[in-house]
Amino acid sequence: MFTHMKIASERMIFVYFGDEIHEQTHENIRLALQILADKPIKGITEILPGYTNICIHFDPLQIKKNTEEQQHMTSADIVMAFVQQRLAQSGATKRTSTRIVEIPVVYGGEHGPDLAYVAQKNGLTPEEVIDIHTAGDYLVYMLGFAPGFPFLGGLDKRLATPRRETPRLHIEAGSVGIAGEQTGVYPLATPGGWQIIGRTQLDLFLPHEQPPTLLRAGDRVKFIAVKEDAQ
Amino acid sequence: MIIVQKPGFFSTIQDMGRTGFQQYGVIVSGVMDEVAYRIGNALLQQCNTASIEMTVVGGTYQFTKPTAIVLTGGHVDATLQGKQISMNRVIHVEANDVLVCGPITHRVRCYLAVRGGIQVPIVMNSRSTYVKAGIGGYDGRALQKGDELPYEAGYMPSGKHHLQLAAFYTNAPIRILHGTEWATFSHDVQQAFSHNVFTVSLEADRMGYRMIPQHPIQIAKPFQLISEAVTFGTIQMPPNGEPIILMADRQTTGGYPKIAQVIAADLHRLAQIGPNEKVLFEVVSIAEAEAAYEKLQRQLKMLEVVLGLI
């Protein structure tokens, strides 16, 4: 199921499921997360899904306390042996249902100052850019970079546009952008170099809710074009 | 309330951080120097209660209720009601007393622990300030003049002695592990990294330290990774050959290759090294890193237990 593992530190390992960003890799990661979450060992503090791997944080003191017969092994070795054993007996393959999250976006105008540039760069009209972007089905591979920021797969290559040569000093929260072959939504106002094509009013980071984000790894995102007053 | 009369250079409220939320892209934050923070709390016979982390310059704080405080970490010349007070020692505080912390003269971060802790609201299991997201701490930002920080009135007599903590802060090289991409770097880059002396640049804050090598490191064939998880102490090597060490406020993911990883037991020492200071690295094994971590944690636990019994 997994391809290899790496020790990142005395408190963290990676379990790899492939070398490339691929939906099948992501499926394996989801399944592995489910298996590992099922009967976790004490001392594992966080398990994070990535594009091609799972990152496991652990507390060596706790890991050692629970496995006294293995004092000659490092905690990283003990955790890797545990992962190997759990993923080998991956009998249970109950599929978790996929959430589809709709994100209403006002495209263009002051909310999407780079829409015209993205269109021109790709030989499209702004309307075509909106049609292609809203037709897409985007998979949330992982969250990172900023709280609630989704690393999305599935951007139509016809919309791929390089980052701005000069990053903007201020991008509004909710801005929807394109950078290379990636599309995403900024959860917080930040500086940034993405080509901004629109903006949503939805909050992606919800610090007082559990979980604290609109999106989660494994979700599917649909962008819906709306008029400004419709939001 | 603790009334902030002068906030110092960059003072934030921190505790052990916000663990469990990295899968949502929420950074861990928390104190840069866990050792100083834990000892400050241990002297006050408490565990993981929010403290003020002061950077480079302390600040001036007035207490409206009686309590007890401890200053730990980087050395600061401090006075309470005009009378000099020592570090690493419980100090009894009367209502309306004013604490003046000057520049941090030795190391760069000083912690002000308060009996019972600073009672700002808990956000996602932590009181740590996360400035970029504007959450935690006081209003999600660094302290400013006039801020009023809540705490409970408490009492503890001043301690007779102050702890000597020099043993936790030796000038030994910072111990590192080879990073997950170590083997991907050319032999030349590996050698240039291993036999170098680094200076902490002016770009050194709670997010990370950019390090300037004494002998430039040429990355002939730069490479990037698919973004993946990073952690406290991860040493990234960008194409310009100036490594970046990720600290407490690091982002959860990064795309630069990771040439090395600072061991957990040396993070507190690194956190107390400031701009223009030199850093030497020493490579150790995972087993050595783990043994060092276990030893440090045992020492801290022991101090917490012993100080709690006095």
Q: From the CA of B76, how many Å to the nearest CA of chain A? A: 33
Q: Please indicate whether residue A166 or residue B268 has the higher confidence score (pLDDT).
A: B268
Q: Give dist(CA B179, CA A8) in Å, integer.
A: 6
- Of A88, A118, A133, at which residue does a domain stop? A88
Q: How many CA atoms lie within 13 A of B152 on its CB side?
A: 9
Q: Which of A47, A66, A88 is the last residue of a domain?
A: A88
Which residues in chain B touch residue A11, judged by CB atoms under 8 angstroms apart? Answer: 231, 264, 293
Q: Do A147 and B27 touch (CB under 8 A)?
A: yes
Whether residues A108 and A217 share a domain: the answer is yes
Average pLDDT over residues B107-117: 97
Residue B305 located in a structural domain: no
Helix spans in chain B (H)? 34-43, 187-194, 267-271, 286-309
Q: Which amino acid is present at B279?
A: V
pLDDT digits (tens, 9 = 90+) for B25-78: 999 999 999 999 999 999 999 999 999 999 999 999 999 999 999 999 999 999
Residue A95 lies in a domain: no
Looking at the structure, tell me whether residues B200 and B287 fall in a common domain.
yes
Tell me: pLDDT of B300 over 90. Answer: yes
Higher pLDDT, residue A230 or B197? B197
Q: Are residues A77 and A107 in the same domain?
A: no
Pick from A90, A66, A94: which is nearest to A78 by CA? A66
A104 and A165 share a domain? yes
Strands of chain B (E only): list them: 2-6, 12-14, 51-55, 57-63, 67-80, 83-85, 91-93, 98-114, 148-149, 174-178, 198-204, 208-213, 228-229, 234-236, 244-246, 253-254, 258-262, 278-279, 281-283
Same-domain check for residues B115 and B179: no
Residue A16 lies in a domain: yes
State the smallest CA–CA distance between residue B285 and chain A in angstroms: 9
The answer on B160 and B242 residing in a single domain is no
Q: Is residue A93 part of a domain?
A: no
CB A100 within 8 A of CB A220: yes
Give yes or no: residues A84 and A139 share one domain: no
State the burial class of residue B215 (Cβ atoms within 10 Å of its Cβ: 0-12, 13-18, 19+): exposed
B154/chain A closest Cα distance in angstroms: 30
Clarify whether residues B93 and B156 are in a common domain.
Answer: yes
Is B129 among the domain residues? Answer: yes
Q: How far off is chain A from B254, nearest CA to CA, in Å?
A: 7
B59 shares its domain with B161: yes
Distance from CA of B291 to the nearest CA of A (A): 9
Do both B16 and B149 map to the same domain?
yes
Quick: pLDDT tens for B7-26: 999 999 999 999 999 999 99
| Cβ-based contacts of B23 with chain A (< 8 Å) | 46-49, 142-143, 217
Contact A10 B290 (CB under 8 A): yes
Residues making up chain B, counted from first to last:
310
A212 found inside a domain: yes
Q: Which pLDDT belongs to residue A95?
A: 66
Q: What is the CATH number of the domain that holds B236?
A: 2.40.100.10
Per-residue confidence band for A41, with pLDDT thresholds at 50, 70 and 90: confident
Q: Is the Cβ of B287 closer than 8 Å to some Cβ of chain A?
A: yes
Any idea what the CATH number is for the domain that residue A152 is in? 2.40.100.10
Q: Does position A231 have pLDDT exceeding 60, yes or no?
A: no
Query: Last residue of a domain, which of A55, A88, A121?
Result: A88
Are B230 and B136 contained in the same domain? Answer: no
- For residue B304, tell me if it sits in a domain: no
Q: Nearest Cα to A8, choosing from B28, B247, B217, B176?
A: B176
A177 and A129 in one domain?
A: yes
Number of compact structural domains in chain B: 2
Confidence of residue A116 (pLDDT cuts 50, 70, 90): very high
Beta strands B12-14 and B67-80: pairing type?
unpaired
Last residue of a domain, one of B133, B165, B197: B165
- The answer to whether the CB atoms of A188 and B251 lie below 8 A apart is no
pLDDT > 90 fraction of chain A, expressed in percent and rounded: 78
Indicate whether A203 belongs to any domain.
yes
Domain span at residue B150 reads 2-165
Contacts of B228 in chain A (CB under 8 A): 14, 50-53, 55
Complex ipTM value: 0.95
B132 touches chain A (CB under 8 A): yes
Residue that finishes a domain, picked among B144, B165, B186 = B165
Which carries the bigger pLDDT value, residue A165 or residue A121? A121
Instruction: Provide φ and ψ at B269, rounded to 5°.
Output: -70, -45
Asked if residue B243 and residue B197 are part of one domain, the reply reads yes
Q: How far is CA B163 from CA B69, B159, B186, B207, B298, in A?
A: 14, 10, 47, 30, 17
Tell whether A58 and A160 lie within a shared domain. no
Residue A190 counted as domain residue: yes
Contact check, Cβ <8 Å, B253/A217: no
Residue A53 domain flag: yes
Q: Could you tell me if A61 and A120 lie in one domain?
A: no
Within this chain, do residues A161 and A71 fall inside the same structural domain, yes or no?
no
Contacts of B27 in chain A (CB under 8 A): 147
Q: What is the dihedral of CA A20, A24, A25, A26, to 10 degrees?
A: 110
What's the pTM value of the predicted model, to 2 decimals?
Answer: 0.94
A225 and A127 inside one domain = yes
Is residue B307 in a domain?
A: no
pLDDT for A205: 96
Residues B16 and B158 in one domain: yes
Are A179 and A195 in contact by the 8 Å Cβ rule? The answer is yes
Residue type, B301: K
C-alpha distances out from residue B242 to A72, B11, B157, Å: 37, 28, 49
* HSE-CB for B12 with a 13 A CA cutoff: 27
CA distance B173 to B260: 14
Confirm whether A174 is domain-assigned.
yes
pLDDT above 70: residue A230: no
Structure tokens given for A161 = 């546009």
Q: B22 and B86 share a domain? A: yes
- Residue B214 pLDDT level (bands cut at 50, 70, 90): very high
Residues B58 and B151 in one domain: yes
State how far the Cα of B239 lies from the Cα of B4, in Å rounded to an integer.
Answer: 43
Residue B306 domain-assigned (yes or no): no
Instruction: Please check whether residues B9 and B146 belong to one and the same domain.
Output: yes
Whether A179 and A106 map to the same domain: the answer is: yes
- On whether both A72 and A165 belong to a single domain, the answer is no
List the domain range (segments joined by +) for residue A58.
4-88
CATH of the domain at A65: 3.30.1360.40
Are A53 and A143 members of one domain? no
pLDDT digits 0-9 by tens, A124-183: 999 999 999 999 999 999 999 899 999 999 999 999 999 898 889 899 999 999 999 889
Into how many domains does chain A fold?
Answer: 2
pLDDT above 60 for B288: yes
